Chains A and B, each alone.
Chain A
Amino acid sequence: MKNFEFVAARSVDEAVAALAQSKGPARPIAGGTDLIVQLSEGRRTLDRVVGLDHVPELHHVSAQSDGSLHIGAATPCVSIYSDLDVRRAFPMLVDSTSIVGSVQVQSRASLGGNLCNAAPSGDCIPTLICLDATAVVVGAKGRREVRVDSFCQAPGRTVLADDEILVELRIPAPVAHEGGVYQRFIPRNEMDIAVAGAGSWVRVDPQSKVITHARIALASVGPTPLRIVEAEEALVGSEVSQEAIERAATIARDEARPISDVRGSADYRRHLVQVLVRRTLLGALQRAGIDTDRVKGGVALGG
């Protein structure tokens, strides 16, 4: 790897200034578990790297008094899934942050980094989409907020300008009778990149068992993590049933845009989307307090 200049930022402003003032390509580094591999394999060359390890604003998990959650963008996965508030109120976030690489990787890899890396396979991104998260971005021109479902634009490309950094992720407060689950399919049981991943989130009317809100997002089956609005629309207004689940899973399968590569063929990935959406919807319903035995109907709720 070519050498570069390293600037250890002490604040968000310092980090933004260091990016803005760089003469050549520059990137911030949080955990670095993606960026360092890209640099060492020559997939990316930088003039300047801006270290975020010592920026306190970027390292926190803060449950707000209204029940919403703010997470500093450079907070490593381990600090998120070990947080008691997260474990209690945002289990879907635990699903995702606890499967990023190994335990060693989770000590360093950050939630914000997973989003900014914008890999189609980013396991945290479908979850952030399902949880309706907002990204707080600060740049030389000031501060803005971007919804996570429009954050990634292409493999490795986001809405961030060269002088902008992601500062915080904000997740709205959960309400009763909602739940979400993220699952990915990998050949081994850990350490792999998702062949396909699916996050499903629902809110259900406890009396009528009608799904009132739904979000479904997929990983590894498109150039970016995909939100499948058509599948969500098919769910909303339906009473919980195996047919409704299967309909949504089938729509998700048809809407996925996978490619064939070394990790799996396009048709296998489509098939996996259907399986995973079915399974995660069942899991989401369970987390929303629905007794899924009623709807199981021979469908295995597998892992």
Chain B
Amino acid sequence: MAGKVPVRLCVNGSEYEILVEPRQTLLEVLREEIQLPGSKEGCGNGNCGACSVMMDGLASNSCLILAVQADGKEITTVEGLADGMQLHPLQQAFLEEAALQCGICTPGFLIAANSLLKKNPDPSEAEVRHHLAGNLCRCTGYDKIVRAVLKAAAAMRAESSKEEVSA
């Protein structure tokens, strides 16, 4: 019956043309085929958020997307968050605020938080909590994660206002 089909993906700015089985999820293809294992499988059914990636600018569960559905789309994974050796402000804030313990959920939280700050640069604590409700963390109790996101948001606002002034 159905064999492999070609798919074009733009992942973290790089173009990939690969053959996938239609049943393969985007998560499986990112991890096993493209060998970007930063996105994690915690539940496989959209309830933990560890597999979160940005697809065409929206945070999505890559375990709930068939790779064939992602054909032609732009994907950002946690591996694409830093600018080379320059950490994203969220990554820096997570380190400074001790917002990770085991770290398995961290990629998903960073992606989800990034999608929040893109549309709301100045979120309240409640907005952060609401936006991150699809990401489970079992180690931290979320306290330091919420603080890290608020801190990163402030840092990013300060940075962008500096840019505005200099522009």
Q: Tell me, yes or no, whether A and B come into direct contact in the complex with CB atoms closer than 8 A.
A: yes
Instruction: List A residues at the B interface (Cβ < 8 Å).
Output: 1-6, 8, 29, 31-33, 36-37, 39-41, 47, 49, 51, 53-54, 76, 78, 101-105, 107-108, 189-191
Q: Which residue of chain A has the shortest Cβ distance to B57 in the bound complex?
A: A107
Could you say which of B79-87, B127-135, B155-163 contacts chain A?
B127-135
8 A-B contacts (beta carbon < 8 Å): A8-B71, A41-B45, A49-B66, A103-B112, A103-B131, A107-B58, A108-B60, A191-B134
Q: Is the CB of A6 within 8 A of B60?
A: no
Q: Which residues of B contact A2 (CB under 8 A)?
A: 23
- Indicate whether A32 sits within 8 Å of B23 (C-beta atoms), given known contacts A101-B134, A104-B52: no
Per-position binary interface string of chain B over residues 11-55, scored 1 when its CB falls under 8 Å from any chain A CB and 0 otherwise: 000000000011101000000000000000000111101001001
Binary flags per residue of B59-102, CB closer than 8 Å to A gives 1, else 0:
11101111011011000000000000000000000000000000
Asked if A6 meets B5 with Cβ closer than 8 Å, knowing A32-B69, A104-B49, A190-B134, the reply is yes
A39–B64 Cα distance when bound, in Å, is 11
Q: Is the CB of A102 within 8 A of B46?
A: yes
Give the residue name and chain of the B residue nearest to A2 (CB): B23
Q: Are A3 and B61 in contact (CB under 8 A)?
A: no
Of A3, A108, A189, the residue contacting B65 (CB under 8 A) is A108
Decide if A29 touches B69 in the complex (CB within 8 Å): yes
- Interface size of B by CB at 8 A reads 34
Q: Which 10 A-B pairs have the closest CB atoms?
A: A102-B134, A6-B22, A107-B58, A190-B133, A5-B2, A107-B60, A6-B68, A37-B45, A104-B61, A33-B64
CB distance from A241 to the nearest CB of B (A): 34
User: A4 vs B66: C-alpha distance in the bound complex, in angstroms?
Assistant: 12
Look across to chain B and name the residue whose beta carbon is closest to the beta carbon of A1: B23
Q: How many A-B residue pairs have CB under 8 A?
A: 97
A36 to B64, CA, bound (A): 6
Chain A CB within 10 Å — which of B22, B63, B72, B112 has the most?
B22
With beta carbons under 8 angstroms apart, the residue of B55, B60, B66 that contacts A29 is B66
Given contacts A53-B71, A107-B55, 16 further A-B contacts (CB under 8 A): A5-B22, A6-B5, A6-B66, A32-B64, A36-B63, A36-B64, A51-B68, A51-B69, A53-B69, A78-B58, A103-B59, A103-B131, A104-B61, A105-B64, A107-B60, A108-B60
A3 near B21 with CB under 8 A, answer: yes
Instruction: Give the residue name and chain of the B residue nearest to A98 (CB).
Output: B130
Residues in B lying within 8 Å of A, measured CB to CB: 1-2, 5, 21-23, 25, 44-47, 49, 52, 55, 58-61, 63-66, 68-69, 71-72, 112, 115-116, 130-131, 133-135
**Cβ of B66 and Cβ of A102 under 8 Å apart?**
no
- A26 CB to closest chain B CB (Å) equals 12
Shortest B103–chain A CB gap in Å is 19
A276 to B77, CA, bound (A): 40
Which B residues are in CB contact (< 8 Å) with A1? 23
A72 to B36, CA, bound (A): 34
The CA of A2 and the CA of B5, in the complex, are separated in Å by 16
Q: Contact check: which of A3, A8, A31, A51 meets B23 at CB < 8 Å? A: A3
Of B47, B112, B116, most buried by chain A (CB within 10 Å of CB) is: B47
Query: CB-CB < 8 A to A37: which residues of B?
Result: 45-46, 64
- Closest-by-CB residue of A relative to B59 is A104
Q: Give the docked Cα–Cα distance between A32 and B24 (Å).
A: 13
Q: In the assembled complex, how far is the CB of residue A27 from the closest CB belonging to chain B, in whole angstroms?
A: 12
Residues of B close to A33: CB separation below 8 A: 46, 61, 64
B133: chain A residues within 8 A (beta carbon) = 102-103, 189-191
A105 and B66 within 8 A (CB): no
* B2 x A3 contact (CB < 8 A): yes
CB distance from B38 to the nearest CB of A (A): 16
* CB-defined contacts of B1 to chain A, threshold 8 Å: 3-5, 47
Cα-based distance from A72 to B135 in the complex (angstroms): 29
Determine the residue in chain A with the shortest Cβ distance to B22: A6
Provide the bound-state CA to CA distance between A103 and B22, in Å.
25
Which A residues are CB-close (under 8 A) to B69? 29, 32, 51, 53
| Other-chain residue from A5, A41, A49, A105 in contact with B61 (beta carbon distance below 8 A) | A105
Closest to A36 in B: B64
Give bound CA distance, A47 to B147, whole Å.
Answer: 48
